[in-house]
Structure 1
Amino acid sequence: MYRDFITVGILLKKLKIKNKTKIKTFNDLVPDNWIYIQEKDVKMGRIQIFNNWSPYMVKDDQNVWIGLEYFCNEGDELWNMDDHKFADFAINELSDIDIINKDDVIDWVIIRMPKTYPAYFGTYDRFSIIREFTDHFENLFLVGRNGMHRYNNMDHSMLTAMTAVENIRQGVTSKDNLWMINAEEDYHEE
């Protein structure tokens, strides 16, 4: 099972929240890449500030490009919401939690991504059965978040792919080194 995902990209003149840290940022933008939203009265799960990933992600560096992340299931109310209605909904949520002024919105885009996050419920406790079955295929190397049904970050996902390529080049058929990537406890939530 997977959780699906919707990103609402919003281009803004500015954010209402300000950098109150000692970290120097371009245009004094808050220094975070991600802001996790804990307010119970909104459905938004996280905000990405794309300017902080790279200033080249925004054509006009005086503007702010953010992504609002919504966790959902394909076919549910959020997934089926009309794009214009969803954009208004998301902008209202941002305004309600005092992150933006609605008048600062320049543009928006909505991207729906099915099967984004592996779900660790349902029959996940029997995942080892699937792994043991697929590991028997010498020429099948499961990689990345969806291939391994594991919530790897992008670096770990790319590393599983690079390791699989190296295994193929070296004639290694064991998949053990792939499954050891991101197995360190430091990366796991409690």
Structure 2
Amino acid sequence: MHSQNSVAARLAALSSPTRRMLQVASAIGPRFGVLELARLMRCGTAQLLPALDEAIDSGLLVSVDDRLVFGHDLVHAAVAASLCRPAATALRAELATPWATPATPGAGHDGRPAGAAGWASLTEQELRIARLVGRALTNQQIATRIGRSRHTVNYHLRRIFHKLGIVSRVELASLARAAR
């Protein structure tokens, strides 16, 4: 049986990166995908593995099919309560607008802030290609749609992978589908 005190004690025993990861996850909801979490944390899936292992080993997260779930409603509530309201609101807004690339003062010529990360770092062409990958199109099909060669598409994909901190087309397709 979980009590508020036992949940608080288990949270306090975690490393700071794991607590931070759980806070970001709590903004997504009681069930979430690892790619979704990695995107919000602006890191690759592999970078999350130590924190995920720690959270799962502690029983605070459990794996259900291809999603992660907080081990109990009290755990989700306690973690969510530890995140300041403005941060939770901002994370939810970011999650709701994954393709948004608003122009900001001091931004580069393409409207992206210097040092932008995640989706905001992608050019319009890269965003378009990422969306088409999410629709399971091949490089040749994408090339035909955008009027470029498949080699150019491959070049853009490598840049997208680097900017998003991912290593495969499968990861990109999953992120793109989750964002739709």
**TM-score, normalised via structure 2 length:** 0.26
Bigger fraction of residues in strand: 1
- Structure with more relative contact order (C-alpha pairs < 8 Å, separation 6 or more): 1
Bigger fraction of residues in helix: 2
Q: Pick the structure with greater CA Rg.
A: 1
**TM-score, normalised via structure 1 length:** 0.26
